[in-house]
């Protein structure tokens, strides 16, 4: 059996709906429209994140099973909708360019890669920058349209309060003219807009927080994978030996012999530097 307080709430809500003003109905229609947009975005984002997490797991399995850090890049084994593969591909492309001077793997790419030397730490920093740019681009894609949901969540409560305030102003304007039943209907109708706003905000707010946390976890996994991949590339492809770039003194080199310059001039009457 339904408790009496619950019946009272339902009865009061029904009483308020029956006495809604045209302005209140307009507010509720707008709230319903915003709720539809918000929930649709959250549902589509939830599907996208589910596919993304599955693709990331599949890519990590392939990456850990690959015999060479660039094996997946050479075979062009693309994992659809995987931000981790996007980060990997960006890093592998720059690494391939620094190793063999070519970004796209061809038929002779594997042979050229075997004969390639190592890259310098400065070139490795370029590869790391490519991974950072890929992470930023993937994060922007994952967070796309969530700003619209955040805007709706910020505006819906204010819209509900606006409907309530306007309804209460109508009630106060009728004080001393209408009877108590009419005033009660006006107050209850004004509060319906606040209830509608809360019903819009609560589901969207919960869904928004859940999706933001999932996106944050995916970005953290991308950062961790970038660190792992950077370490693997650094161990296998980077030459950390210090190169002595200091030039010997002129005294140590000895004075160069001065060649005998003949008095041959150009047609302009000057010595030709290329003669």
Which tens digits make up the pLDDT trace of 136-189?
Answer: 999 999 999 999 999 999 999 888 888 888 777 777 666 655 555 666 666 777
- The pLDDT value given to residue 234: 92
Residue given tokens 């012999």 in the structure block:
257
Least confident interval from 11-15, 45-49, 93-97, 208-212 = 11-15
Give the integer Cα–Cα distance in Å for 168 and 171.
5
- The pLDDT value given to residue 178: 55
Contact 220, 55 (CB under 8 A): no
Residue given tokens 């819209």 in the structure block:
159
CA distances from 2 to 13, 16, 195, 260 (A): 16, 21, 21, 116
* Long-range Cβ contacts of 26-29 (<8 Å, 24+ apart): 27/159, 27/160, 27/162, 27/163, 27/193, 27/196, 28/163, 28/192, 28/193, 28/196
Quote the pTM value. Answer: 0.75
Q: In the numeric block, which tokens belong to residue 23? A: 């302005």
Residues linked to residue 238 through DSSP beta bridges, in sequence order: 119
**Computed from CA positions of residues 40, 43, 45, 51, in that sequence, does the dihedral angle turn out positive or negative?**
negative
Over residues 183-242, the pLDDT tens digits come to: 666 677 778 888 888 888 999 999 999 999 999 999 999 999 999 999 999 988 888 776
Give the integer Cα–Cα distance in Å for 275 and 272.
5
Residue given tokens 């933001």 in the structure block:
212
């Amino acid at each position: 059996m339904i408790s009496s307080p619950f019946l009272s709430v339902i009865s009061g809500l029904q009483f308020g709906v029956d006495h809604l003003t045209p302005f209140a109905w307009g507010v509720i229609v707008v709230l319903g429209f915003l709720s539809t947009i918000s929930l649709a975005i959250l549902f589509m984002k939830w599907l996208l994140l589910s596919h993304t997490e599955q693709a990331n797991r599949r890519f990590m399995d392939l990456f850990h099973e690959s015999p060479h850090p660039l094996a997946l890049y050479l075979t062009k084994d693309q994992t659809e909708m995987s931000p981790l593969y996007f980060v990997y591909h960006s890093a592998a492309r720059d690494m391939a360019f620094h190793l063999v001077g070519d970004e796209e793997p061809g038929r002779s790419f594997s042979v050229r890669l075997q004969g390639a030397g190592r890259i310098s730490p400065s070139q490795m920093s370029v590869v790391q920058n490519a991974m950072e740019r890929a992470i930023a681009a993937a994060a922007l894609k994952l967070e796309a349209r969530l700003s619209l949901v955040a805007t709706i969540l910020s505006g819906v409560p204010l819209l509900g309060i606006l409907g309530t305030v306007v309804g209460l102003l109508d009630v106060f304007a009728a004080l001393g003219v209408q009877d108590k039943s009419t005033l009660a209907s006006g107050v209850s109708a004004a509060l319906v807009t606040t209830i509608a706003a809360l019903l819009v905000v609560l589901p969207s707010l919960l869904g928004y927080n859940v999706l933001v946390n999932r996106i944050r976890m995916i970005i953290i996994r991308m950062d961790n994978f970038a660190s792992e991949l950077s370490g693997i590339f650094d161990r296998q492809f980077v030459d950390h030996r210090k190169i002595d770039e200091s030039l010997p003194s002129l005294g140590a080199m000895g004075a160069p012999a001065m060649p005998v310059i003949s008095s041959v001039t150009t047609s302009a009457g000057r010595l030709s530097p290329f003669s």
